[in-house]
Amino acid sequence: MAVGARSGHDGPDERADGAFGDDTTGDDVTDEQAQPPGGETPGDGDDDTAGGSGGRPRNQRSFWKELPLLVGIALVLALLIKTFLVQAFSIPSESMMNTLQKGDRVLVDKLTPWFGSEPERGEVVVFHDPGGWLEGQTAPKPNVVQKFLSFIGLMPSAEEKDLIKRVIAVGGDTVSCKEGGKVVLNGVPLDETSYLYPGSVPCQDSFGPIKVPEGRIWVMGDNRQNSLDSRFHQQLPGGGTVSNDEVVGRAVVIAWPVTRWATLPVPDIFDQPALDKAAAAAPLGAVSVAGALPLVLWRRKKVAARHTAE
């Protein structure tokens, strides 16, 4: 090792007090610097990072001191993600088979509703109980750890009364079904074979036609014979429909178990342009009738006056 490189000597430096030693401080101190009485160089012992104290940084924190801070940051991030981005939910029943199996964990997109996005036809959505849908059903009581993990979003919701169904109709749509037949949306029969549970009929009992109010949705399970959905709550306020404000978000992916990992896209049948045309035709027809009514009344009045004159 080259010693005393800054002084130009090849051997040990001779200090003012007659002591010999290597210049271990590198560029920080040179032989030309004046030394105070006692032979101490200014700054000696202050820079522990330059090789003093065994080369360990002076202010290095131990892992155990930093761990609580890291855990706290992780918990805050998890809570923010659960509140504003995505949340995990567990499937408690067979009402959405085979799309979703009992015990599946799904991730629900909670971000897009913050930007004004509303539920669309064909989406699988999680929503709060509108009132009376889960009456009489009891959920297992979670322990303290489960409650905490659910609160920060690291486990599926523990105590919230939530349901998961597929959106069939949105505000302004008209939906109906005859016993054993197909669901008819805005006058268009739907071919639901791509997502209905094998052997399940679209509806075992007739309902409708039902005009879905604006700002609300009509939902049904994919396992129609085992789903207490909008069809069975028409006697409640809302007539079986669910307010958009009650919707937590759209289920976008099956996250657990890993063998069931899959996305949850909107079936192609809900992309038919005929559905939107039929929905728009109804209000247009009503406007046409309203506009023609005065003309009809005027013509009838004119004909009546002619007959009176004769």
List, by residue number, the catalytic residues: 95, 165
Taking residue 164's Cβ as centre, other Cβ atoms within 10 Å add up to 24
Q: Which two tokens stand for residue 280?
A: 């728009």
Cβ atoms 94, 225 nearer than 8 A: no
CA distance 179 to 203: 6
In angstroms, what CA-CA distances link 181 with 132, 153, 177, 178, 185? 28, 41, 6, 5, 13
* Alpha-carbon gap, residue 85 to 79, rounded angstroms: 10
Cβ burial of 148 (10 Å; 0-12, 13-18, 19+) is middle
The tokens 């990072």 sit on which residue? Answer: 49
Residues in CB range of 194: below 8 A, 6 or more apart: 267, 268, 269
Q: Which residue has the tokens 């009838």?
A: 300
User: In this structure, which amino acid lies at residue 31?
Assistant: D
Residue-wise DSSP of 136-203: T---PPP-HHHHHHHHHTSS--SS--EEEEEEEEETT-EEEE-TTS-EEETTEE---TTTSPTT--S-
Strands 207-211 and 174-177: antiparallel
